[in-house]
């Protein structure tokens, strides 16, 4: 088949397990984790691609890909069902040389060199599939071209005390990266890599092949590709990003990222018609706020039926809150039912759960003396909690109770 040349192909790394989200990532990869009332994490990089004019996207999957595959489908919700290009889910495969599982981020791209080469691109964007942010990659690509760079890495200024959690770039006054350190104990800079890279494809390809042939090398970007390129004097540029960006690696950060949507001071506006975040839309009627409902400072998706009290919470599509139930400071994922008089506080409740009558899930931090034992309570997908049960703060429930 004839393939139209594309200037830039985007590759989204979506194989991550997200093991620290344990109960929520038992059956799905981290990029498929629900967020913000109607999205899954991957909607953000995908929508960024579309809004940036990138119409050729490869999604690299590995861990529990079923939910993600089904969700992406033919890419129609993102306008990525194209005649030329479009979205392609790229699972690891067995080839004549016997290679199979992706052994690292660089190896995943290496194994899909032939996919990228079909479009004969000048540039490749490598993107994480599980970060929440709105970013115009086309501006970054423009900067990459103007700088005649080999690699452009998006960076974010983080508080110094958090810098040791990130891949840290040191750059000179022209933005040229001079040093890179993965999670340094004593960071020399507070410019953190966002996991958004643009490479000149032929250069990257050379390094990917060399990396693959080096038996001792780590097969990921942070471990070897970036340090090797730096060592060889490649032109690598730090591209500053100032907007909202969140990596939701932990339960706390996933909870926080949802709560950020309710905070008018946080610059992540999902209602912005000039930069829509696309998602596969559920087919459901509008949500209904009942006669006795009380809803304040919350985000509510379509298909919900609310007869109870909802405060500082995010409700996904098709959630039912029965009479007398209270949901506070919590995130309730699609099609979950909260039965009457149940109280949910500081909790993440997965998809398709049934929380029985009078159940108590979580607790406000103020109500607890031993702050060490406090945390957001998590109920995994499809879990039923019997009436009158008490689920403690910080609990992680992955079996029916």
Partner 1 sequence: MAIMSNNMLGLIFANLHDETVPDLTKKRTMGSVPFGARYRLIDFPLSNMVNSGITTVGVITKSNYQSLLDHLGSGDEWDLSRKTGGLGLLPPYGQVGGGLYRGRLEALHGVENYISSSNAEYVLMTDCNVIVNMDFNHILEYHIEKEADITIVYGRGNYTAAQMRTKTAFGFDPDGRINDVLIYPNKEGEFDTSMNMYILKRDFLMDLITETASRNLYSFEVDIIQHRREEYKIYGYKYNGYYEQIDGFLSYFAANMALMSVERRSILFPQRRPIYTKVRDEAPAKYGIESDVCNSLVADGCVIEGKVENCVLFRGVKIGKGAMVKNCILMQDTEIGEKCEMNYVITDKNVLVGSYRSLFGTEDYPVFVGKGANV
Among the listed residues 170, 228, 158, 161, the one whose alpha carbon sits nearest the alpha carbon of residue 194: 158
Query: Do 27 and 68 contact (CB within 8 A), yes or no?
Result: no
Please say which residue, 263 or 388, places its beta carbon nearer to partner 1. Answer: 263
Site membership for partner 1, residue 324 (CB under 8 A): no
Out of 235, 287, 323, 401, the residue judged to bind partner 1 by CB under 8 A: 287
Backbone angles phi, psi at 288, to 5 degrees: -120, 125
Site string for partner 1, 206-245 (x = CB under 8 A): ----------------------------------------
How far apart, in whole angstroms, are the C-alpha atoms of residue 346 and residue 360? 11
- Smallest distance from partner 1 to CB 299, Å: 5
Kindly state the number of chain residues that form the binding site for partner 1, as judged by CB under 8 A.
39
Joined together, the tokens standing for residue 198 give 């643009």
C-alpha radius of gyration, the chain, whole number: 22
281 interacts with partner 1 by CB under 8 A:
yes
Q: With binding defined as CB under 8 A, does residue 83 bind partner 1?
A: no
Q: Which is nearer to partner 1, 241 or 278 (CB)?
A: 278
Is 166 in contact with 154 (CB distance < 8 Å)? no
Q: Which stretch binds partner 1 (CB under 8 A): 137-145, 170-178, 251-259, 270-278?
A: 270-278
- Taking residues 351 to 380 in sequence order and writing x for each that binds partner 1 by CB under 8 A, - otherwise, the string is ------------------------------
| Candidate residues 271, 366, 370, 399; the one interacting with partner 1 per rule CB under 8 A | 271
Please give the full DSSP string across 79-100, using - where no structure is assigned: T---SSSEEEEE-----TT---
Q: What is the DSSP pairing of strand 245-247 with strand 151-157? A: unpaired
CA of 191: how far to CAs of 27, 72, 213, 395, in Å? 34, 33, 31, 35
> Which residue, 41 or 315, has its beta carbon nearer to partner 1?
315
Q: Which two tokens stand for residue 308?
A: 């109870």
Tell me which stretch binds partner 1 (CB under 8 A): 86-94, 177-185, 219-227, 307-315: 307-315
Among 38, 131, 144, 328, the residue binding partner 1 under the rule CB under 8 A is: 38
Q: Taking the CA of residue 317 as centre, how many other CA atoms within 13 Å lie in the half-sphere pointing to its CB?
A: 13
Contact pick of 122, 256, 260, 302 for partner 1 (by CB under 8 A): 302
Angle at 287 between CA 282 and CA 293, to 5 degrees: 145
Check binding of 296 to partner 1 (CB under 8 A).
yes
Phi-psi region of 380 (alpha: psi -120 to 50; beta: other; left: phi over 0): beta
Q: Is residue 259 at the binding interface for partner 1, with CB under 8 A as the rule?
A: no
Closest CB to partner 1 among 243 and 286?
A: 286
Query: Which listed residue (8, 154, 259, 295) binds partner 1 by CB under 8 A?
Result: 295
Q: Which of 93, 101, 160, 294 binds partner 1 (CB under 8 A)?
A: 294
Stretch that binds partner 1, among 117-125, 294-302, 322-330, 374-382 (CB under 8 A): 294-302
Q: Is 392 in the site for partner 1 (CB under 8 A)?
A: no
CA distance 336 to 319: 5
Phi first, then psi: what are they for 57, rounded to 5°?
-135, 130
Q: How many angstroms separate the CA atoms of 147 and 235, rounded?
A: 9
Among positions 299, 327, 348, 383, the unique one binding partner 1 when judged by CB under 8 A: 299
Nearer to partner 1, 5 or 276 (CB): 276
Q: Minimum distance between the CB of residue 256 and partner 1, rounded to whole angstroms?
A: 18
What are the residues whose beta carbons fall under 8 Å from the beta carbon of 337, sequence distance 6 or more?
A: 319, 320, 322, 353, 354, 355
Residue ranges binding partner 1 (CB under 8 A): 36-38, 76-77, 261-262, 270-271, 276-279, 281, 283-302, 305, 310, 314-316
């Amino acid at each position: 088949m004839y393939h139209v040349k594309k200037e830039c192909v985007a590759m989204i790394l979506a194989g991550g397990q997200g093991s620290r989200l344990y109960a929520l990532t038992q059956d799905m990869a981290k990029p498929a984790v629900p967020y913000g009332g109607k999205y899954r994490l991957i909607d953000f990089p995908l929508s960024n691609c579309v809004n940036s004019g990138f119409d050729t996207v490869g999604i690299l999957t590995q861990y529990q890909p079923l939910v993600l595959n089904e969700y992406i489908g033919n890419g129609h919700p993102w306008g990525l069902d194209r005649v030329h290009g479009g979205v392609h889910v790229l699972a690891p495969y067995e080839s004549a040389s016997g290679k199979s599982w992706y052994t690292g981020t660089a190896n995943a791209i290496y194994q899909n060199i032939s996919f990228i080469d079909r479009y004969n691109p000048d540039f490749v964007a490598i993107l994480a599939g599980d970060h929440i942010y709105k970013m115009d990659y086309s501006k970054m690509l423009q900067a990459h071209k103007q700088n005649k760079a080999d690699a452009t890495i998006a960076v974010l200024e983080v508080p110094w005390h958090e810098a040791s959690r990130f891949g840290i770039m040191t750059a000179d006054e022209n933005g040229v990266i001079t040093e890179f350190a993965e999670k340094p104990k004593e960071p020399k800079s507070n410019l953190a890599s966002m996991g958004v890279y643009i490479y000149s494809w032929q250069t990257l390809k050379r390094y990917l092949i060399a990396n693959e042939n080096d038996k001792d090398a780590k097969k990921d970007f942070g471990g070897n590709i970036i340090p090797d390129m730096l060592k060889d004097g490649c032109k690598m540029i730090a591209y500053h990003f100032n907007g909202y960006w969140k990596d939701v690696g932990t339960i706390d950060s996933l909870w926080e990222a949802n709560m950020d949507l309710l905070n008018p001071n946080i610059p992540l506006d999902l209602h912005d018609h000039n930069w829509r975040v696309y998602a596969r839309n559920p087919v459901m009627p509008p949500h209904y706020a009942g006669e006795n409902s009380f809803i304040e400072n919350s985000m509510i998706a379509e298909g919900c039926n609310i007869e109870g009290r909802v405060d500082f919470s995010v409700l996904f599509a098709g959630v039912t809150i029965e009479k007398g139930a209270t949901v506070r400071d919590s995130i309730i994922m699609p099609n979950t039912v909260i039965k009457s008089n149940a109280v949910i506080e500081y909790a993440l409740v997965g998809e398709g759960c049934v929380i029985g009558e009078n159940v108590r899930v979580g607790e406000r931090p103020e109500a607890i003396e031993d702050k060490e034992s406090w945390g957001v309570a998590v109920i995994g997908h499809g879990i039923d909690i019997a009436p009158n049960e008490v689920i403690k703060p910080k609990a992680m429930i992955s079996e029916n109770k």
